[in-house]
Structure 1
Amino acid sequence: MSAHTEITIRTARESDAPALLNIYAPYIVNTAITFEYIVPSTEEFAGRIRRTLQKYPYLVAEQQNKILGYAYAGPFHERAAYDWAVETSIYVDQTQRHTGIGRLLHDALEHTLQAQGILNMNACIACTSKEDPHLDNNSIEFHTHMGYRLVGEFYQCGYKFHTWYNMVWMEKQIGEHRKDQPVPLTFKELLESCRQQDKKKHLI
């Protein structure tokens, strides 16, 4: 989908599960960035990728066949009226933090969601009033830099490492909200539309 200094952003595959899990597992074991406690199996993680791709983008950043990070979207809420809003997640290999990969992934994710007709990107972020070994507020700073605004905070709602953490919601609006809003495309529909357009270009 995009490339920058030899880093390619592409759609994730179920076969990427081991590499993505290697990135995600340290966040579970060592941080409160995710409130998940137990590292999922490779099979469970592959299933998450498969289920996400039915409707939403799941992207990886790759350099010389090595995956450096990933980003995906999911439903903000199951009710139909929320179909134009998504919850987003980005994870970067901890050896690659502050290298610009997060921005590359976020920009690609935002562009893809816009193409689908999604209007609101929402991020659920753990936060702390006092930095500790398991959590700082870098994710809030990152999303602020990406154009998000703080829309709500929940206090002492996440318990991990014998510590209570807050959680904030941040939001970025990426499209025009209209009275006659078209239904968003699923990610599968978007890919099929792109394939059809490519076929037409070759015929011209």
Structure 2
Amino acid sequence: MYKVRLANAGDIPAMYEIYRPYADETTVSFEYGAPPAGDFAARISALFSVYPVLVCEEDGQVLGYSYAAPAFERRAYAWCAELSVYVENNARGRGIGSVLERAIAALLKRLGYRKLYSLVTQENTASVAFHEHVGYRQIAFFPEQGYKMGRWLGVVWLEKELCDASCCERFPLKMSELSDADRTLEEVFG
């Protein structure tokens, strides 16, 4: 049985090993290769206090992770976040991505976010279909936005509405301000 929980610094090496093949061997990530492990750790650690960073594990082994990050820089976009989900190659197709997305969306909604975005490489049709299956809709397509592995790649921009405009009475909370994150996860999976 899967367990979804908040990630911690001890999870970062496993998260890095999951991410590395995506950056090195696929067009899923537009990085030309995985960053050095220390840079990856700093990138993920910087998110912990502000955004949800989750791992999904089975029998103590991390099989996937997800995180939210700022979708845009300007303050007026504070209610928007961008989703990233990565699943260990041998664990794909087992529902782990869906579990992680559902948990991130629930936490972001509790924090006060309105929109969740995902940018997906056009040729990654399985990811586009996954996002649509869990409630995202395509809002834009950008042809030939990135060049990797000898070809130009289009990007599909997907959006999921977490709540209506009434949820925006205050700026979203940071993860460090959310006292009931574990309870939120229990509600999602309990």
Q: Same fold per TM (> 0.5)?
A: yes
Where 1:159 maps in the other structure, the secondary structure is strand
Q: 5+ unaligned residues in a row in structure 1: which ranges?
A: 1-5, 129-135, 198-204
What's 1:137 paired with? 125
Q: 5+ unaligned residues in a row in structure 2: which ranges?
A: 184-190
AA of the residue aligned to 1:97: R
Structure 2 residue 179 is the aligned partner of structure 1 residue 184: no
Counterpart of 1:194 (choices 172, 180, 183) is: 180
Structure 2 residue 57 is the aligned partner of structure 1 residue 55: no
1:171 is displaced (CA, Å) by 0.1
What are the superposed Cα offsets for residues 137-174 of structure 1, whole Å, 9 maximum, x if unpaired?
11100000011000001111110011111001100001
8 Å CA contact 1:21–1:45 kept in 2: the answer is: yes
What's 1:89 paired with? 84
Where 1:53 maps in the other structure, the secondary structure is coil
Measured at CA, do residues 30 and 183 of structure 1 come closer, stay the same or move farther in structure 2, by a change above 3 Å?
Answer: same
Give distance in 2, aligned partners of 1:89 and 1:35. 13
Structure 2 residue 149 is the aligned partner of structure 1 residue 161: yes
Instruction: Look at both structures and tell me which one has the larger radius of gyration over its CA atoms.
Output: 1
Mapping of 1:99-110 within 5 angstroms? 99-110=94-105
8 Å CA contact 2:112–2:168 kept in 1: the answer is: no
AA of the residue aligned to 1:151: I
Give distance in 2, aligned partners of 1:60 and 1:80. 28
Counterpart of 2:158 (choices 162, 170, 174) is: 170
Q: Give the share of equivalent positions with the same residue, in percent.
A: 37
AA of the residue aligned to 1:84: W
Where 2:172 maps in the other structure, the secondary structure is coil
Deviating beyond 4 angstroms after TM superposition, the runs of 4 or more aligned structure 1 residues are: none
AA of the residue aligned to 1:178: S
What's 1:131 paired with? none
8 Å CA contact 2:114–2:162 kept in 1: the answer is: yes
AA of the residue aligned to 1:13: N
TM (norm. structure 2) is: 0.91
What's 1:25 paired with? 20
What are the superposed Cα offsets for residues 109-135 of structure 1, whole Å, 9 maximum, x if unpaired?
11111110111000011113xxxxxxx
Structure 2 residue 11 is the aligned partner of structure 1 residue 16: yes
What are the superposed Cα offsets for residues 56-86 of structure 1, whole Å, 9 maximum, x if unpaired?
0000001111000000000011111101000
8 Å CA contact 1:15–1:46 kept in 2: the answer is: no
Where 1:178 maps in the other structure, the secondary structure is helix
Give distance in 1, aligned partners of 2:29 and 2:176. 28
Where 2:72 maps in the other structure, the secondary structure is coil
TM (norm. structure 1) is: 0.85
1:179 is displaced (CA, Å) by 8.7
Q: Tell me the number of residue pairs that the alignment of Structure 1 and Structure 2 aligns.
A: 182
Where 1:77 maps in the other structure, the secondary structure is coil
